[in-house]
Amino acid sequence: MHKPLLGHPAVHGDGDVTGQQVGGIAQRIASAISVGMLTVGERLPPEAELASQFGIAVATLRKALATLRAQGIVETRRGRNGGTFVVQAPFPSTESLTSTLRSTSIVVLRDIADEHSAVSGMAARLAAERTPPDFRTRLAELAFRAREARGAQELSMADSRFHVEIAVLSHSQRLLTAEQGLQAELGPFLWCEDLTRASGQLAFTEHLSLIMAIEQQRPDDAQRIAVDHVRGNIRMIIEAKLRLGVRELPARTAQRTEAVS
């Protein structure tokens, strides 16, 4: 049995499905890949199983997979050992991240911080409440893997995979879906060296504190640490946006000077 990648289905039944809905399904699969739930070279679950996770018809799922194939994220192989395989983890370019951050207001970033704090905080709290004392989690393994990661994409994926595992331990499918989406959305900004100044060592220290709170079944502490961690990350992204504005001021001044002269 393949591990579940998705939360509550976004689409139900076998009726007409819009292009926007198909795109949403493709995006959710891509998010699962970008946060390390599926790795390059890994085969996706069988189509019937994956369609069941979404609550959609297999034909609809195939449209979403066709979108991912066109993007070069997956490929479908035929034969006895065939199936749909991950061939590339999606990751935005520095130029794309810079453009998106420049066009995103601080108000929106703060709103994302509120959403992420609520999701990650509750996921950590439930993980602490629902993880049996004698259960061995993968959190320490994933934290050390994140510390050893190198390069923006590897760092983003390893860090996101750690936080997604906490959502898995919460046993809430909705929180898992939300955490996957938020990590896929924010992780690239956090670990892009040209934009932010995230510290792998600081993240590792905070991860260890979070692991201890969860495994020692201290839900209040787990929630507080998770929320503080999210707010610290969003603060770094907001600071990156402000630095972008400062960099643009000389260029704007030069343009105005040229226009006047």
Among 53, 86, 119, the domain-final residue is 86
Match 């643009």 to its residue by tokens: 248
User: Is 14 within the bounds of a domain?
Assistant: no
pLDDT for the residue 137: 96
Among 86, 117, 137, the domain-final residue is 86
Q: Is 92 helix (H, G, I), strand (E, B) or coil?
A: coil
Same domain, 113 and 197: yes
Each residue of 181-223: pLDDT tens digit?
A: 999 999 999 999 999 988 999 999 999 999 999 999 999 999 9
Percent of the chain clearing pLDDT 70 (strictly above): 87
pLDDT for the residue 15: 46
Each residue of 33-64: pLDDT tens digit?
A: 999 888 999 999 999 999 998 888 999 999 99
Q: What is the average pLDDT value for the chain, to the nearest integer?
A: 89
Question: Residue 248: pLDDT above 90?
Answer: no
Same domain, 60 and 118: no
What's the Cα-to-Cα distance from 219 to each of 117, 118, 163, 231, rounded to whole Å? Answer: 15, 14, 16, 18
Same domain, 66 and 153: no
Expressed as residue numbers, the domain containing 117 is: 94-250
Mean pLDDT computed over 21-25:
88
Same domain, 106 and 79: no
User: Is 256 within the bounds of a domain?
Assistant: no
Same domain, 126 and 41: no
132 Cα distance to chain centroid: 26
Among 44, 70, 86, the domain-final residue is 86
Report the amino acid identity of residue 131. Answer: T
The Cα 149–Cα 193 span in angstroms is: 14
Match 């195939």 to its residue by tokens: 62
pLDDT for the residue 12: 44
pLDDT for the residue 258: 54
pLDDT for the residue 5: 52
Same domain, 114 and 140: yes
User: Beta partners for 77?
Assistant: 83
pLDDT for the residue 247: 62
Q: Nearest 5 degrees, angle CA 168-CA 169-CA 174?
A: 45
What are the structure tokens assigned to 233, written together? Answer: 């990350």
pTM for the model: 0.82
Same domain, 76 and 101: no
Question: Residue 253: pLDDT above 90?
Answer: no
Question: Residue 260: pLDDT above 60?
Answer: no
User: Is 228 within the bounds of a domain?
Assistant: yes
Supply the CATH number for residue 58's domain: 1.10.10.10
Instruction: For the chain, count helices (H), then strands (E).
Output: 10, 2
Question: Residue 240: pLDDT above 50?
Answer: yes
Distant-in-sequence, close-in-space partners of 53: CB < 8 Å, separation ≥ 6 = 4, 5, 6, 9, 45
Report the amino acid identity of residue 184. Answer: A
What are the structure tokens assigned to 223, written together? Answer: 């929630």
Q: What is the dihedral of CA 35, 202, 231, 32, to 10 degrees?
A: 0
Same domain, 81 and 133: no
By CB atoms closer than 10 A (0-12, 13-18, 19+), residue 186 is: buried
Among 11-20, 85-94, 179-188, 206-215, which stretch is predicted with the lowest mean pLDDT?
A: 11-20
